[in-house]
Amino acid sequence: MEWEAVIGLEVHAQLATQTKIFSGAATAYGAAPNTQACAVDLGLPGVLPVLNAECVRMAIKFGLSTQSTIAPRSIFARKNYFYPDLPKGYQISQYEHPIVYNGYLDVLLEDDTLKRVGITRAHLEEDAGKSLHESFYNMTGLDFNRAGTALLEIVSEPDLRSAKEAVAYLKALHALVTCLNICDGNMQEGSFRCDANVSVRPKGESRLGTRTETKNVNSFRFVERAINYEIERQIQILESGGSIRQETRLFDSVKNETRPMRSKEEANDYRYFPDPDLLPVMIQQEQIDQVRETMPELPWEKQQRFQQSYGLSRYDANVLTSSQALSDYYEITLQHAGGDAKLVANWVMGDVSAFLNKHGLSIEECPVTALQLAKLLQRILDNTISGKIAKTLFEAMWAGEGDVDTLIEKKGLKQVTDNQAILAIIQQVIQESPQQLADYQAGKERLFGYFVGQVMQKTQGKANPQQVNDLLKKALSK
Ligand code: ADP
Ligand code: MG
Determine whether the shortest distance from the Cβ of 93 to ligand 1 is under 6 A. no
Strands (E), 22-113: 69-70, 73-74, 76-80, 90-94, 100-108
CA angle (117 as vertex; 112, 118 as ends), nearest 5? 160
Q: Give, for ligand 1, the residue of 211, 223, 231 to mutate: max count of ligand atoms closer than 8 Å to Cβ.
A: 211
Q: What's residue 411's pLDDT?
A: 80
Q: What is the mean pLDDT of the chain?
A: 93
Average pLDDT over residues 421-425: 89
Q: What's residue 418's pLDDT?
A: 81
| Segment (H or E) for 193 | strand 192-202
CA 174 to chain centre: 6
CATH topology of domain 419-477: Arc Repressor Mutant, subunit A (1.10.10)
Of 168-182, 258-272, 297-311, 312-326, the least confident: 258-272
Determine whether the shortest distance from the Cβ of 153 to ligand 1 is under 6 A. no
Ligand 2 ion: Cβ-proximal residues, 5 Å cutoff: 10
Determine whether the shortest distance from the Cβ of 8 to ligand 1 is under 6 A. yes
445 falls in which pLDDT band (50, 70, 90)?
Answer: confident
Residue 339 has pLDDT above 80, yes or no: no
338 falls in which pLDDT band (50, 70, 90)?
Answer: confident
Point out the ligand 1 atom lying closest to the alpha carbon of residue 158: 16
The string of DSSP codes covering 313-353 is -HHHHHHHTSSHHHHHHHHHHHHHHTS-HHHHHHHIIIIIH
Q: What's residue 457's pLDDT?
A: 87
Determine whether the shortest distance from the Cβ of 208 to ligand 1 is under 6 A. yes
Q: Give, for ligand 1, the residue of 79, 154, 155, 201 to mutate: max count of ligand atoms closer than 8 Å to Cβ.
A: 155
* pLDDT tens, position by position, 11-60: 999 999 999 999 999 999 989 999 999 999 999 999 999 999 999 999 99
> Alpha-carbon distance 156 to 167, whole Å?
13
> Alpha-carbon distance 84 to 82, whole Å?
7
Please tell me the residue having the least CA distance from ligand 1 atom 3: 267
Exposure letters 237-261 (e unless 16+ CB within 10 A, then b): ebeeeeebeebebebeeeeebbeeb
From ligand 1's centre to the CA of 25, what distance in Å? 33
Q: Give, for ligand 1, the residue of 7, 9, 10, 212 to mutate: max count of ligand atoms closer than 8 Å to Cβ.
A: 10
135 falls in which pLDDT band (50, 70, 90)?
Answer: confident
Please tell me the residue having the least CA distance from ligand 1 atom 15: 8
Q: How far apart are the first and last CA of the chain?
A: 66
| Contact between 177 and 119 (Cβ < 8 Å) | no
Which ligand lies nearest to the CA atom of residue 120 in the structure?
1
From ligand 2's centre to the CA of 195, what distance in Å? 7
Segments of the chain assigned to CATH 1.10.10.410: 419-477
| Contact between 166 and 196 (Cβ < 8 Å) | yes
> Alpha-carbon distance 15 to 6, whole Å?
28
> Alpha-carbon distance 56 to 99, whole Å?
8
Determine whether the shortest distance from the Cβ of 94 to ligand 1 is under 6 A. no
Residue 385 has pLDDT above 90, yes or no: no
Average pLDDT over residues 439-453: 90
Find, among 177, 192, 181, the residue nearest to 29 by Cα.
192
Number of H helices, E strands in the chain: 17, 16
Q: What's residue 350's pLDDT?
A: 95
| Contact between 393 and 408 (Cβ < 8 Å) | yes
Of 57-71, 156-170, 212-226, 401-415, the least confident: 401-415
Which ligand lies nearest to the CA atom of residue 216 in the structure?
2
Please tell me the residue having the least CA distance from ligand 1 atom 22: 211
Determine whether the shortest distance from the Cβ of 7 to ligand 1 is under 6 A. yes
Determine whether the shortest distance from the Cβ of 413 to ligand 1 is under 6 A. no
CA angle (405 as vertex; 404, 409 as ends), nearest 5? 120
Find, among 233, 221, 229, the residue nearest to 170 by Cα.
221
From ligand 2's centre to the CA of 90, what distance in Å? 16
> Alpha-carbon distance 268 to 58, whole Å?
29
Q: Tell me how far CA of residue 409 lies from CA of 224, 384, 417, in angstroms.
A: 46, 11, 16
* pLDDT tens, position by position, 237-287: 999 999 999 999 999 988 989 998 877 777 778 999 999 999 999 999 999
From ligand 2's centre to the CA of 193, what distance in Å? 13
Find, among 306, 338, 310, 309, the residue nearest to 319 by Cα.
306
Determine whether the shortest distance from the Cβ of 6 to ligand 1 is under 6 A. yes
Please tell me the residue having the least CA distance from ligand 1 atom 2: 213
Determine whether the shortest distance from the Cβ of 122 to ligand 1 is under 6 A. no
> Alpha-carbon distance 24 to 52, whole Å?
8
Average pLDDT over residues 127-134: 91
Which ligand lies nearest to the CA atom of residue 215 in the structure?
2
Residue 137 has pLDDT above 90, yes or no: no
Residue 461 has pLDDT above 90, yes or no: no
From ligand 2's centre to the CA of 64, what distance in Å? 24
Point out the ligand 1 atom lying closest to the alpha carbon of residue 155: 14
From ligand 1's centre to the CA of 237, what distance in Å? 20
Please tell me the residue having the least CA distance from ligand 1 atom 5: 155
Residue 413 has pLDDT above 80, yes or no: no
Determine whether the shortest distance from the Cβ of 199 to ligand 1 is under 6 A. yes
Average pLDDT over residues 172-180: 96
